[in-house]
A = this chain, B = another copy of it.
Amino acid sequence: MYLRLMSHTAAQAAIGDSEFDRDTAIAPRAGEAGVYDAELSAGWTIISAVNGGYLLALVGRALAAALPHPDPFTVSAHYLTSSVPGPAVIRTQLVRSGRTLSTGQASLFQYDENGAEVERIRVLASYGDLASLPDSVHTTARPPAIPAYEDCLGTEAGPAPIPGSSEIVDRLRLRLDPATAGWAVGAPSGKGEMRAWFELADGRDADPLSLLLAVDALPPTSFDLGLMGWTPTVELTTHIRHRPAPGPLRVAITTRNLAGGFLEEDAEVWDSADRLVAQSRQLARAPRT
């Protein structure tokens, strides 16, 4: 076990031994190749609903186990029905095995009152080996203009603005850019932006699977537009471009096309080495006004 001396009093969790790893653990089902049992933890809910990024990370772990290549490169997820804490099963299928990329499909099911499987999310994903990529960087995007960590707002900075059960808040150590936190005190900026420093609360460093969580773990940008309702994800596509360096991540999300009852949200995740390690776009239903 890897321990790092920090100013925190608690020992820092490690990749492989942390809340995130335990709550995204999968168990291969004996006799059924490509099938994994899992338990959706109640610890990753937002307003009582299981967080979409947590679900994506869980399915991502199953695909990493099932496919010939270890790392998600591009993951496309369609969210079908609402998940609830409790048992789940992930059924995977190899679609194509290539030299540098493999493609797979996965569905996460839960059980209805009769024990029948109900599909929650279906995913198509192409996996590769991030370690094998050349180290060339021609990224023209710049890291987000977010204030220093100590100048951002943690959840301990004020009363919990989101009603209901939002256990995920205790799993994460988010520090919001004050410029994108006005909604919490009734003063949204109206720009449709959300920026935060992002860490796991137990200190576990990021890895490609936790990046799948990070792209969907901030408050929705619709809050910053003054729309405080439920904003369910219809579809989410995530690109993982590099293994993240240790240390806090910076997540910057924007929406530019709120129309017709839907909105898109673009997320960028930057690591401590100033690398753009993940990009995502989701289509979500806008809150009913």
Mark each residue of chain A from 237 to 259: 1 if its CB lies under 8 Å from any CB of chain B, else 0. Answer: 10101100000000000011111
B101 touches A81 (CB 8 A): no
Q: A74-B235, A237-B235 are in contact. Are A134 and B261 (CB under 8 A)?
A: yes
The 8 Å CB contact of A103, one of B78, B96, B140, B283, is B78
**Are A256 and B73 CB-contacts (below 8 A) given A105-B122, A126-B234, A239-B283?**
no
User: In the bound complex, do residue B76 and residue A237 qualify as a contact, i.e. CB atoms below 8 Å apart?
Assistant: yes
On whether the beta carbons of B239 and A264 are closer than 8 Å, the reply is: yes
Complex contacts, A235 vs chain B, CB 8 Å: 74, 76, 126, 237
How far apart sit A258 and B140, CA to CA, in the bound complex (Å)?
8
Interface residue? A80 (CB, 8 A): yes
Asked if A260 meets B135 with Cβ closer than 8 Å, knowing A234-B101, A281-B237, the reply is yes
- Chain B residue numbers with a CB within 8 Å of A140 are 191-192, 255-258
B81 A234 Cβ-Cβ under 8 A:
no
**Of B73, B139, B258, which one neighbours A139 at CB under 8 angstroms?**
B258
Does A39 sit at the interface, judged by CB under 8 A?
Answer: no
B103→A258 contact, CB < 8 A: no
A15 to chain B, nearest CB (A): 21
Fill in one digit per residue for A54-82: 1 if any B CB lies within 8 Å of its CB, else 0: 00000000000000000001101010110
Residues from chain B with a CB closer than 8 A to the CB of A257 are 139-141, 241, 276, 279
Apart from A73-B262, A76-B235, A281-B281, what are 7 other A-B pairs with CB-CB below 8 Å?
A73-B283, A76-B78, A80-B95, A95-B119, A105-B122, A136-B259, A279-B281
> Hey, which bits of chain A sit against chain B, CB under 8 A?
73-74, 76, 78, 80-81, 95-96, 101, 103, 105, 119, 122-126, 130, 133-141, 191-192, 225, 234-235, 237, 239, 241-242, 255-262, 264, 275-276, 279, 281, 283
